[in-house]
Amino acid sequence: MKVAVVGATGLVGSRMLEVLQERAFPVDELLPVASERSIGREISFRGAPHRVISAEEAVEHKPDLALFSAGGSVSAVLAPKFAAAGCYVVDNSSYWRMDPTKKLVVPEINGDVLSAGDRIIANPNCSTIQMLIAVAPLHREFNIRRIVVSTYQSITGTGYKAVQQMEAERRGDAPGTYTMAYPYRIDRNVLPHIDSFLPDGYTKEELKMVNETHKILDPAIKVSATTVRVPATGGHSESVNLEFEKPFTVERVREILSAAPGVTLLDDPANNVYPMPILSEGRDDVFVGRIRRDDTLPSGLNLWCVSDNLRKGAATNAVQIAELLLKKGFLGSE
């Protein structure tokens, strides 16, 4: 099995390599791909050095699988080239997500939609993945009418430059001596601004959560999102308000979530047990807590969920899609 990781030197790409190792994915030949400035660098995988190569060289090797985390403009050009070479592409950018000819997949929720002909498969937005892992099991039993979600997103979702900006601000480095990933300082601050603003006042990140929920789970669900960047690392957090069509009990909600794949319930506020980014870092589950009824609605529920955005929000979900292709007999069958 030849596996290419496109964007191998980035935050998500490096996590993809970690997850491939941890989950013992069958990689016989690794093809790490990065931008021109990184070609020739060596990265370590399973204790051995591997030279970073160009995308063109990787395509010539005809990999079976390519995991992409190199941005939408790169995926737009390169994903079709890898697919044309007979490769299955799992793309972490937003470029293919809303393409009606491409599947948008969270394996625990809609993995059954994958077919042998799906050569380019889209990995959803990190915030969408963690929210849907938490609410999809509840939707199946109680039928969600409406979701109101506010996110508290880690700076790691922006990449290395954001981490470097916050570290520089915390050191007290002089402005102008470091690169600004954001239009304002992020340390000791909160930015209600992720991705670009649209004419209606929402951001593209907020629209992603709406559109991706409709494509993955149910187009009938009304979704209102506010996405916020906070000076934290480790994972994204979300405050989620649900309105159900059917009556429910909080006890039954806890039962469902306790048994849900990919969910860890941390819900004992009397003993200060609740999800926090510091607990999710380096782990693959979505942690759910602060479960309580919303008494302003006939069937309303509030919950809080946290997940490592670089892992289940990106790298782990991509590798799980690849595992599903393997399980279905599509990958490595030729």
Active site residues: 126, 236
Question: Encoding tokens for residue 298?
Answer: 């006939």
C-alpha distances out from residue 205 to 2, 55, 328, Å? 33, 28, 32
Q: What is the DSSP pairing of strand 42-45 with strand 48-51?
A: antiparallel
Is residue 208 within 8 A of residue 128, CB to CB? The reply is yes
Nearest to 120 by CA among 144, 158, 93, 140: 93
Task: Please give the single-letter amino acid code of residue 319.
Answer: V
Compute the C-alpha angle 292/134/310, nearest 5°: 125
Non-local (6+) Cβ contacts of 51 within 8 A are: 32, 40, 41, 42
List, in sequence order, the alpha helices (H) in 85-177.
107-110, 126-142, 160-171
Per the DSSP assignment, residues forming a β-bridge with 300 are 243, 294
| N- to C-terminal Cα separation, the chain | 11
CA dihedral sign of residues 319, 321, 325, 331: negative
Per the DSSP assignment, residues forming a β-bridge with 236 are 307
Non-local (6+) Cβ contacts of 52 within 8 A are: 8, 9, 32, 33, 34, 38, 39, 40, 41, 42, 43
User: What does DSSP assign to residue 314?
Assistant: I
Question: Encoding tokens for residue 40?
Answer: 């020739």
Element (H, E) at 17: helix 11-22
